[in-house]
Amino acid sequence: MGASHSGCRCVDVGDIEPGAGGDAWAQLEVDVSICQACSLAKTRTQTVFGTGDRHARWMVIGEAPGADEDRQGEPFVGRAGQLLNAMLQAAGFQREDVYIANILKCRPPNNRDPQVDEVAACAQYLQRQIEWVNPQVILAVGQIAAQNLLQIDTPIGRMRGNRYTWGPNNIPVVVTYHPAYLLRSPTEKAKSWADLCLALSLSNENVA
Ligand code: URA
């Protein structure tokens, strides 16, 4: 992450001190809500900023809002979100205990894949969110989220099971299947459980 973009009328979030409290978060949320940096601003109902505990040990990063999220303004609120909640619960977390965000803050029309320029335009927002939450582990859900977060093009089957890191603090990143994929392929849930166990062990490692 860390890509800059032009054409955005928003405040340069790089000017906001990391670790700043509610004001910085509130400012960032406003910046996102009025962002016109890419063409998704024309088709969104509203932006989907992110939700959860800003001091969370776990941060979950998905791809982009879908129709339900675009309507409600919150990530992972549809069927995939319900499965994500169940996965988190199995790992010992309530949804409110983790911080959840997406690579893109706006829904791509018809849920198409994010485009390179859209990811670049949105990257600075997610970068701030990760830096400010500074979680012990990031769970990247789905190939598109993982590839964009890690800036690699490895297929998800080969990313799973590895320990990646993000950013200057080397935050551990674990990659797992997207819950929407698990809804279509429930037999893969066992692999996702193994991924959650890896994430748990890495976050526990960081606590010790
Ligand atoms: N899929 C995602 O990747 N993110 C959401 O917020 C919802 C569905």
Q: Are the C-beta atoms of residues 62 and 141 closer than 8 Å to each other?
A: yes
How many secondary structure helices (H) and strands (E) does the chain include? 9, 6
Query: Would strands 51-52 and 164-166 be described as parallel, antiparallel, or unpaired?
Result: unpaired
Number of compact structural domains in the chain:
1
Within-domain flag for 35? yes
pLDDT band at 15 (very low <50, low <70, confident <90, very high): very low
Question: Is the C-beta atom of 114 inside 6 A of ligand 1?
Answer: no
**Average pLDDT value for residue range 188-200:** 98
pTM: 0.90
Within-domain flag for 10? no
Within-domain flag for 93? yes
Q: What is the pLDDT of residue 157?
A: 97
pLDDT exceeds 90 at position 165: yes
Q: What is the pLDDT of residue 205?
A: 85
The Å distance, Cα 49 to ligand 1 centre, comes to 12
pLDDT exceeds 90 at position 189: yes
Within-domain flag for 105? yes
Under DSSP, the state recorded for 137 is E
pLDDT band at 140 (very low <50, low <70, confident <90, very high): very high
Within-domain flag for 1? no
Question: Is the C-beta atom of 66 inside 6 A of ligand 1?
Answer: yes
Pick left, alpha or beta for residue 92 (phi over 0 → left; psi -120 to 50 → alpha; otherwise beta): left
* CATH code, domain carrying 143: 3.40.470.10
Enclosing domain of residue 28? 19-205
The two tokens of residue 146 are 């993982």
Within-domain flag for 151? yes
Within-domain flag for 14? no
The Å distance, Cα 189 to ligand 1 centre, comes to 18
Ligand 1 probe mutation, 46, 76, 148, most atoms within 8 A of CB: 76
Within-domain flag for 12? no
